[in-house]
Structure 1
């Protein structure tokens, strides 16, 4: 999604190729349908898995999925401004097809999705959720990928940013992410040592974090490793990474606590996709195969 500025929000939404696509104009409380992405291969349904679908999903013939479509290459909106695309989209659509149903992706603010799943607004949440103890208290999580945190800076790193010594810097981060907790902990170490705190510039959308970096509002940004790496690729070197990925942990599909059998069945669907080679094909399509896992599980 690039126009005059590689990080311009409207350009990103319109073109569908750069750092992000910011989603619907309104992200208040769940948004509107973002369309469904075609599966990259011809997955076949599994009768045993179909029998484990919750009655609500079986009746509807589709899985309603809450997703923050501002996090490429994992999840973002295509050139039509409404169709969800990305690694997460392709992979979960393949999972849904193993159950013999479609996935309908609905754009939502990232920090509203888990509550939306718990309340029944969404059947599943798929939005690069790192599995952690706090989230597992609220919902079941099905592991399917692994990523860490990776920092991005402008080309040449003019502020000489070091993630391990970022005291006093302005660092961009998306609201509700694990990176907020990480920056908070790092900032406390700064102040405990008598140094200036890290100034977090928190945005609702990753696309805005990207824009803040390009405009000079922030000195660096912290995001999931595939997202930061994608930013580097799409800006042709205008942004670069600094340091190495850290705090690597699995991503998980968000499933209501009341649907533990469905969560377990998702593990079986992922195993089938891994065996068929479709899992690897999807990750390779988005150049994120380094985060592949093969020990899919519920609440690992």
Structure 2
């Protein structure tokens, strides 16, 4: 089946972000590999002339597949809508505000719309802060989260996952930097920025411990919650690099021309390739339909079109999996 492109406004029930989001997907007591955006209200990079960032999106679309739609729980089928929750960041291309500062667009919303198409459901988006994604899923207020959520073993106790993208983190530097990052030794003695409570912080701390044990100079870790601040620090030379979400780093480097990516790594660290997934309350019966819909759009090419549009082709999966191995618990 050939995917079609059509202009169709997705039903949106946007609520205000309840608090400033972290620079990556993770609360301080819940480190994880998924990386979302930063604080709402700063649309850094959203003026890329090569990408439509207006509220009127010519999204890649897909056709309904009845046999896959039949997998949707009866309650959701009768309602006719897929209630999707997300959290908005400042830096494209994940979930971010369009040029009207109201409509949420980005790669995550595009993938959710494709899934809704295959399932024969209209997609209704609700935008909340990061913690309330899980509160809403727990209560049944929302059916599924499409918000750069990483599969973790701890989360698998309460949620089901259907994967749709690799979870990668990246070191972003000034465009004039003359060094690259291939491993822990390359950041020894440097000042690296990171978001507090994120999986990126956990990776950087572990790397620093390895370096110190090996007799190398320690990393000076600098914490930032706002992309404007760490980009100013990169530009002034106060930071050697910032370790954050690969999608946001790659997009910003492409749009601004002031930075570049000098190293990309798994959000799961050395032991595991992290994966981003559609997230539902455990055993609510929806995950099989989500995975089947994702595999349909992977097979028909619509998924690849979406990732290419947002510059994320290097994070594509060959197939969606249900509840694959996730990032280990911090104590493991």
Partner residue of 2:169 out of 145, 149, 170: 149
Contact 2:184–2:208 (8 Å) recurs in 1:
no
For 2:136 and 2:224, locate their aligned partners in 1 and report how far apart those are by CA, in whole Å: 20
Question: CA 1:167–1:14 in 2, change beyond 3 Å: closer, same or farther?
Answer: closer
Q: Does 1:74 align with 2:99?
A: no
Aligned to 2:307: 283
* SS of 1:181 mapped into structure 2: helix
Aligned to 2:194: 173
Contact 2:163–2:321 (8 Å) recurs in 1:
yes
**Most deviating of 191-200 and 64-73:** 191-200
Aligned to 2:149: 129
What's the TM-score once normalised by structure 1's chain length?
Answer: 0.76
Contact 1:91–1:279 (8 Å) recurs in 2:
yes
Structure 1: state its 5+ residue gaps. Answer: 1-8, 19-34
Contact 1:69–1:107 (8 Å) recurs in 2:
no
Aligned to 1:190: 211
Q: Does 1:101 align with 2:131?
A: no
For 1:98 and 1:39, locate their aligned partners in 2 and report how far apart those are by CA, in whole Å: 14
Contact 1:53–1:99 (8 Å) recurs in 2:
no
Q: Does 1:222 align with 2:222?
A: no
Question: CA 1:178–1:10 in 2, change beyond 3 Å: closer, same or farther?
Answer: closer
Q: CA deviation at 1:286?
A: 1.6
For 1:241 and 1:168, locate their aligned partners in 2 and report how far apart those are by CA, in whole Å: 19
Q: Does 1:91 align with 2:111?
A: yes
Aligned to 1:255: 280
Structure with a larger share of its residues in helix: 1
For 1:97 and 1:207, locate their aligned partners in 2 and report how far apart those are by CA, in whole Å: 36
Q: CA deviation at 1:203?
A: 3.9
Contact 2:166–2:315 (8 Å) recurs in 1:
yes
Aligned to 1:21: none
What's the TM-score once normalised by structure 2's chain length?
Answer: 0.69
